[in-house]
Amino acid sequence: APVIELRQAGLTYPGPPPVQALAPCDLRVERGEFVAVVGPSGAGKSTFLNIVGLLDAPTCGSYLLDGVDTGALKDADRTTLRGRRIGFVFQSFHLLPHRSAVENVTLALIHNGTPRKDRAARARHALEQVGLGHRIDALPTALSGGERQRVAIARALVGEPSLLLCDEPTGNLDSATAHSVLELLEAVHAKGMTVLVITHDPTVAARGRRTLTIQDGALTEAGRRSR
Ligand code: ADP
Ligand code: ADP
């Protein structure tokens, strides 16, 4: 099954007045794709992210994640599925400030069935894979922006999700740091991860092998590049 399958999925906020934030759309993202989603502010990117990330249910149509029809799920099952299948990376990192890098990553394993005794070693390995093996005990405040985002990427990946969902992952970084974070995302993709990056930055979008555009709530396929 595709990782993401939207079938005439859309979302209208009830209002009043009702706002159609995402018009009904179809989309298939296969395992191992690297997809960029671009569009101006207010176009519906967050709405799309919330649907794909299982934070909001579409108000029409359906969303299948790894072939599982998410519309049929109870809230608790949707939360469990989100925790197991989706790794989130945010613009502002969302790290716990009083926890070290390895603690931040370890916390992501608590709810996914990883035995307690294995968690720290897996977290350390994930940090080594993002090039932070030497910084595992550092607090976020002691890390640079790029290092913080690497911790966040390690946290997103440690549970081996189906989908890495990134919301403006370079939005808080200077351009050189942004470049290295993008290279990390590409390396993760090269190892087989399905990556979806939401951005309004054209240089980030240019990295996608496939680009979707959202404009006034309408999702369209802007172009497909060969790898
Ligand atoms: P983007 O992330 O691209 O900036 P959003 O998905 O946040 O766009 O918003 C899409 C549209 O939906 C905008 O017109 C916005 O004002 C509207 N919107 C967002 N959230 C709500 C809400 N909770 N209730 C009503 N309208 C909303
Ligand atoms: P391995 O130890 O599995 O051979 P490496 O540690 O050499 O892999 O990493 C290969 C590339 O994958 C590196 O450029 C690294 O940045 C990137 N990468 C980082 N974190 C992950 C991850 N959690 N999963 C997959 N690839 C990752």
Q: Is the pLDDT of residue 225 over 70?
A: no
Q: Is the pLDDT of residue 166 over 50?
A: yes
The dihedral built from the CA positions of residue 48, 53, 57 and 62, taken in this order, carries a sign that is positive
Ligand 2 atom index nearest CA of 193: 25
pTM of the model: 0.86
ipTM (interface pTM):
0.65
Name the amino acid, one letter, at 133. G
- Residue 167: the pLDDT is 95
Phi/psi for 9 (5° steps) reads: -85, 135
Do strands 60-65 and 210-215 pair parallel, antiparallel, or not at all (unpaired)?
unpaired
Ligand 1 atom index nearest CA of 47: 6
| Gap from CA of 221 to ligand 1 centroid (Å) | 21
Whose CA is closest to atom 22 on ligand 1?
13
From CA 87, how far away is CA 101, in angstroms rounded? 17
Tokens at 84, concatenated: 């197991």
Ligand 1 atom index nearest CA of 40: 3
Residue 216 CB less than 6 A away from ligand 1: no
Please compute the mean of the pLDDT values over residues 61-82 and round it to a whole number.
95
Confidence bin at 15 (pLDDT 50/70/90): confident
Q: Is the pLDDT of residue 49 over 80?
A: yes
Whose CA is closest to atom 9 on ligand 2?
129
Q: Is the pLDDT of residue 20 over 50?
A: yes
- Residue 155: the pLDDT is 96
Whose CA is closest to atom 1 on ligand 1?
42
Residue 45 CB less than 6 A away from ligand 1: yes
Whose CA is closest to atom 10 on ligand 1?
44
Residue 49 CB less than 6 A away from ligand 1: no
How many other CB atoms are there within 10 angstroms of residue 61's CB atom? Answer: 17
DSSP annotation of 18 reads: P
| Gap from CA of 111 to ligand 1 centroid (Å) | 30
From CA 91, how far away is CA 89, in angstroms rounded? 7
Residues 6+ apart with CB under 8 A from 210: 33, 34, 35, 36, 221, 223, 224, 225
Q: Which-ligand-closest: CA of 215?
A: 1
Residue 51 CB less than 6 A away from ligand 1: no
